Amino acid sequence: MYQPKLQKTIHCPLDYGLNAISGKWKPRILCVLAEKKVLRYSTLRSEMADISDTVLSTALKELISDNIIGRQQFDEIPLRVEYFLTVKGQSVIPILQSICHWAEAYRKDWSDSPLPHCEACISNTEQEAAV
């Protein structure tokens, strides 16, 4: 795994927060786990469109090391491992949903349809707008 020569110095809470959940895949992993609650690796990978095993395993390791997701290994044959959001991970979901709501307001001209796990955020936005 790539290790930078110099470690990032984080002086701002915003830097810490963005570093913990930044990237193309981490927010998607969190949203899928928020919707599905507990997933095995293969199921999580199938929920994530076009992600490689290397990228997924690296993102999972980083999220686990930041205590945003948890990993439970069961001593069974075959080995079973499940991933889930920790309390810290659950606390970031409203922030991601707010970003999703903001993006949905400006998404009107996009030609692509949203990913399946994004539908929950979008439907919440529409329900909140109706209230």
pLDDT tens per residue across span 106-115: 776 666 666 6
pLDDT band, very low/low/confident/very high, at 52 (cuts 50, 70, 90): very high
Q: What is the pTM of this model?
A: 0.77
Q: Is residue 4 part of a domain?
A: no
The CATH number of whichever domain residue 79 belongs to comes to 1.10.10.10
**Burial code of 24-36, b = ≥16 C-beta within 10 A, e = fewer?**
ebbbbbbbbbbbe
Domain count, the chain: 1
Q: Is residue 44 part of a domain?
A: yes
Q: Measuring CA to CA, how many Å separate 105 from each of 6, 80, 125?
A: 39, 40, 9
Q: Is residue 58 part of a domain?
A: yes
Domain range spanning residue 49? Answer: 13-130
Q: Is residue 88 part of a domain?
A: yes
Q: Is residue 7 part of a domain?
A: no
Q: Is residue 8 part of a domain?
A: no
